[in-house]
């Protein structure tokens, strides 16, 4: 799941808590040393009625964290908590992760313009950097246009500059020290745009899984009887004709081409190649894809950002299995991984 989508879910749950006249806090993982379940920047919501959304440790620590979240909510004061999961004599929980975690618990007050702006940016899928000073909880936002929102009066210029630069990198949350002050900078980036060309039955699980994995999905198919919200409820856009695709949804997009009709596949492949694509996956044998590339006059061979046959080699046969194979490859490429087994690997998050 993308950071933006996960954060949006967290903010939506906080808003629901507010609507019940309850109070809530955002729990943010700001530091990891060694092995841990999630990466820095991971967030979850905890409310005063014990309602939770998201996870920091997969359930190992949430019960203990909640006690501190209650205090932070009641006192309306941020709390910093450190957990060393290697100290088995203290925890004795049989926790698989043996690293240490640092967690900031930040009360989320209703009607705070900061959170209102955060929710607005998330809903509009605008990228921005979240800045938090630790342990005070002083907070600010920096948009991609350089606008500062929140507690900006005492924000060092070096922190502002780093927040802007972080939007252009692939880093998750990072810590920046300035004099005797400590800041966490968390870049929130929009979901990757995925265009699935084809609305056959086998496209349904692909779209569903890709949306769950954090992609913003557009389904492209001229057949209105198939390309319908009824079949693709998680798709953000349903488009029948290529010329109706908004240019901003095409540029830098990811593509999975699976029309099962060569003429439409060639049309989609031609459009994809003109869109500065990050990934093009084509269903079917390599020979068919090479033939289509020749037919559309593309001076390319399979490789680089063209993946044919699309998907990881996991022995997939059914539509659902093929969808898992395809989306697994999307996730691997997005994370710059090879999609291999984790067997024997010492470090997972690198």
Q: Residue written as tokens 């060569």?
A: 262
Give the Cα separation of 283 and 180 in Å (integer). 55
Residues 6+ apart with CB under 8 A from 292: 262, 265, 266, 269, 282
**At residue 94, does pLDDT exceed 60?**
no
Q: How confident is the model at residue 36 (pLDDT cuts 50, 70, 90)?
A: low
pLDDT of residue 346: 62
What pLDDT, on the 0 to 100 scale, is given for residue 190? 84
What is residue 90's predicted lDDT score, i.e. its pLDDT? 46
Kindly tell me if the per-residue pLDDT of 300 is higher than 90. no
Judge whether 107 and 78 are in contact, CB under 8 Å: yes
Please tell me which of 31-40, 149-158, 201-210 the model is most confident about, judged by mean pLDDT.
201-210
Residue 253 · residue 279 · CB < 8 Å: no
pTM of the model: 0.80
- pLDDT bucket at 91, cuts 50 / 70 / 90: very low
Q: What is the pLDDT of residue 150?
A: 86
Q: What is the mean pLDDT of residues 37-45?
A: 84
pLDDT attached to residue 244: 82
Report the top-level CATH class of 193-334: alpha beta
Measured distance between the N- and C-terminal CA atoms of the chain, rounded to whole angstroms: 17
% of the chain beyond a pLDDT of 90: 56
- Look over the chain and give the mean of its residue pLDDT values, rounded to a whole number: 88
The residues near 291 (Cβ < 8 Å, ≥ 6 apart) are: none
Distance CA 292, CA 320 (A): 26
CA distance linking residue 116 with residue 348, whole number of Å: 35
Q: Average pLDDT for residues 284-291, to the nearest whole number?
A: 94
Distance, in Å, from the CA atom of 80 to the CA atom of 63, rounded to the nearest integer, reads 16
Are residues 129 and 185 in contact, defined by beta-carbon separation less than 8 angstroms? yes
Cα separation of 288 and 291, whole Å?
Answer: 5
Mean pLDDT, rounded, for 78-93: 68
Q: Where in the chain is the domain with CATH 3.40.50.720?
A: 193-334
Q: Examine the pLDDT at 266 and tell me if it is beyond 60.
A: yes
The rounded distance, in Å, linking the Cα atoms of 151 and 129 is 13
Alpha-carbon distance of 273 to 159, in angstroms, equals 39
Interval 4-19 mean pLDDT: 91
Q: Across residues 196-224, what is the average pLDDT?
A: 96
Q: For the chain, what is the radius of gyration of the CA atoms?
A: 22
- The answer to whether 257 touches 280, Cβ cutoff 8 Å, is yes
Q: Is the pLDDT of residue 50 over 90?
A: no
3-state SS assignment for residue 247: helix
pLDDT over 60 at 89, yes or no:
no
Q: Decide if pLDDT at 279 tops 90.
A: yes
Q: Report which DSSP code applies to 344.
A: T
SS3 194: strand
Q: How confident is the model at residue 248 (pLDDT cuts 50, 70, 90)?
A: low
């Amino acid at each position: 799941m993308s950071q933006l989508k996960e954060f949006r879910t967290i903010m939506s749950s906080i808003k629901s808590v507010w609507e019940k006249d309850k109070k809530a806090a955002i729990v943010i993982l700001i530091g990891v040393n060694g092995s841990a379940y999630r990466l820095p920047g991971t967030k979850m919501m905890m409310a005063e009625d014990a309602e939770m959304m998201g996870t920091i440790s997969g359930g190992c620590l949430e019960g203990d964290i909640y006690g501190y979240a209650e205090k932070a909510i009641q006192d309306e004061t941020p709390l910093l908590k450190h957990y060393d999961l290697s100290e088995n004599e203290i925890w004795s929980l049989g926790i698989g992760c043996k690293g240490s975690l640092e967690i900031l618990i930040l009360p989320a007050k209703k009607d705070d313009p900061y959170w209102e702006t955060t929710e607005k940016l998330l809903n509009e899928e605008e990228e921005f950097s979240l800045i938090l000073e630790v342990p005070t909880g002083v907070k600010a936002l920096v948009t991609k246009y350089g606008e500062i929102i929140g507690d900006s009066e005492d924000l060092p210029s070096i922190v502002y500059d780093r927040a802007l630069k972080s939007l252009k990198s692939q880093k998750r949350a990072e810590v920046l020290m300035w004099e005797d002050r400590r800041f966490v900078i968390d870049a929130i980036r929009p979901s990757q745009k995925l265009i699935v060309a084809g609305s056959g039955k086998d496209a349904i699980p692909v779209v569903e899984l890709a949306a769950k994995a954090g992609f913003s999905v557009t389904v492209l198919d001229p057949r209105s009887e198939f390309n319908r919200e009824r079949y693709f409820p998680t798709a953000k856009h349903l488009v029948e004709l290529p010329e109706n695709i908004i240019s901003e949804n095409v540029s830098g997009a990811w593509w999975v081409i699976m029309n099962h009709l060569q003429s439409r596949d060639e049309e989609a492949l031609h459009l994809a190649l003109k869109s500065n694509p990050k990934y093009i996956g084509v269903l079917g044998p390599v020979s068919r894809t090479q033939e289509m590339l020749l037919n559309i006059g593309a001076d390319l061979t399979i490789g680089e950002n063209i993946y044919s046959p699309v998907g990881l080699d996991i022995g997939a046969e059914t539509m659902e299995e093929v969808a898992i194979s395809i989306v697994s490859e999307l996730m691997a490429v997005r994370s710059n991984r090879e999609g291999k087994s984790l067997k024997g690997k010492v470090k997972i998050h690198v």
